Amino acid sequence: MTYKKYALLSVSDKTGLEQVASALVEQGVQLLSTGGTFEYLEKAGFAVDTVDSYTGFPEMMDGRVKTLHPKVHGGLLANMDNALHHHQMSEQGITAIDYVIVNLYPFKETILKADVTLEDAIENIDIGGPTMLRSSAKNYRRVSVVTDPADYPAFISQLNDHGATTPAYRFYLATKVFELTSHYDTLISQYMAQQREALGEMEQPWNHVTKTYGEETVLRYGENGHQKASFYKEVKAPMASIAGAKQLHGKELSFNNIKDADAAIKIIQEFSEPAAVAVKHMNPCGVAIGSSVEEAFDRCYSADSISIFGGIVAVNDAVTRELAEKLHGIFLEIIIAPAFDEDALTILTKKKNLRLLIVDMAEQTKDEKESVTVSGGLLIQDVDHSDELVRDSFDEIPEAWEIVTQRQPSKAEEKGLNFLMKVAKHVKSNAIVIGNAFMTLGIGAGQMNRVGAAEIALKQAKENPLTKTDEFLMASDAFFPMDDTVTLAHEYGVKAIIQPGGSIRDKDSVVACDERGMAMIQTGIRHFRH
């Protein structure tokens, strides 16, 4: 059985539309269209019918209703090998539609505009488009549905070579449709959820989580050379993130570069004063603050001048010529900053592979979530913003803190302990950080044995050439179930400790501190990072 073939064209993106229309007409296909697409094709000289002339039902409600009609969807969904379908089509005057060229209202582009309103976003939620796409894709055995202008050349080649499309190609197009509509709907749901939260509306009582990402970057390889990898970004990724970073120079980022850069950005955002962070293998190897970002980097570098080799440096102020000259003398993978002076760029871009990233450190959010995949599932939690750690003022210790020892820590020690705990929360557990009020001197990361982590950090601090005193401060991400860590700390000259507390044997550590004239603060908040 033969019948005249129809194509329905309705696109917001007119790229390549004339070429597609010409290829369809050459195969004797009758064109149907709507609104702006109809006007475009008619002006280009094509013989095209309006959808409302076909359905007998006018476009209405400012174009909100135009393709939502049984004659459209019957023409898309009908199985032409089914006698009943064929009979019902004849009864209702339904014509089979074999080709659908549709792309959706630009919802993503709309919400990315700085001045977008909720009303603007709502009007750019496509209804008829996704419905036609889904109907067409469901009936892929007959219907060819093209939604991506990038597919136009292959589609035209199919028509020119075969007079129609092949079953395999139609299946490819159908799978792409369902990927698109899933992404599109998820983007809408995420946007609406953000608006609800901004308005302080109730939490969604829903036991499903759907997230969508775009802008795929294919990486050279993954964590290791034999692993394939890609980087996908959130559509509205925060500027203060690796996904929102702007690369000014250097070769493309690797899988490990992205993870390390993410860690560095999160650490540097802990500090309001000039700060510098060096990261290696997802852990900080040096963190420091200073009166200037240059002083902060000097201290950061001195904290561990060996581990920083081949690492990442992040600072929270513009990179100046002075700082650039220091950074240029070190082998680094990435430098992250909110800005680079022209003189600094001149110096640093001499290294063709050195990646320079701009990240807006000022844009911080308190309502974000973080997630990690596991086999067969996804873990989601609030970001550890740890409001108990003072960001701007050190005149008073946080209310959550409790001084549990006889010796009271000095104001300088309190400031130092606050600083070190900010670092400890970003170190893989068990985490021990040794230092003073303005820099780390030793970091013990990722040990199964908490005493082992302390020993690593203390030995590093003791051997640091910058160390001119036997007095150190210690921060721990976990409580002390025994007094062994305190005993070891005292042997290395630790004068004050900060730790969560919460062990049934807290008293043992407190007594050990009192016997040795040490101060201890318990925060009541743990900072495990597995």
Exactly one of 281, 326, 328, 385 is catalytic; which is it?
A: 281
Q: Any residues with CB less than 8 A from the CB of 34 and at least 6 apart, and which? A: 10, 50, 51, 52, 59, 63, 66, 67
Q: Return the exposure string of 275-309: e unless at least 16 CB atoms fall within 10 Å of the residue's CB, then b.
A: bbbbbbebbbbbbbbbeebbbbbbbbbbbbbebbe
Encoded tokens for 457: 């950090």
Confirm whether 211 is a catalytic residue. Answer: no
Contact between residue 362 and residue 384 where contact means Cβ atoms under 8 Å apart: no
Confirm whether 138 is a catalytic residue. Answer: yes
Sheet holding 275-280, edge to edge: 246-249, 355-358, 332-337, 311-315, 275-280, 283-289
Sign of CA dihedral 173, 179, 182, 184: negative
| 3-state SS, residue 429 | coil
Per-residue DSSP letter, 254: P
Contact between residue 230 and residue 218 where contact means Cβ atoms under 8 Å apart: yes
Exactly one of 5, 86, 138, 462 is catalytic; which is it?
A: 138
Question: CA 242, 217, 124 angle in degrees (round to 5)?
Answer: 85
Contact between residue 445 and residue 426 where contact means Cβ atoms under 8 Å apart: no
Cα-flanking dihedrals φ and ψ of residue 240, to 5°?
A: -85, 55
Q: Return the exposure string of 347-370: e unless at least 16 CB atoms fall within 10 Å of the residue's CB, then b.
A: bbbebeebbbbbbebeeeeeeeee
Count other C-beta atoms under 10 Å from residue 115's C-beta: 5
- Compute the distance between CA of residue 241 and CA of residue 245 in angstroms, rounded to an integer: 6
Q: Which residues are catalytic?
A: 138, 281
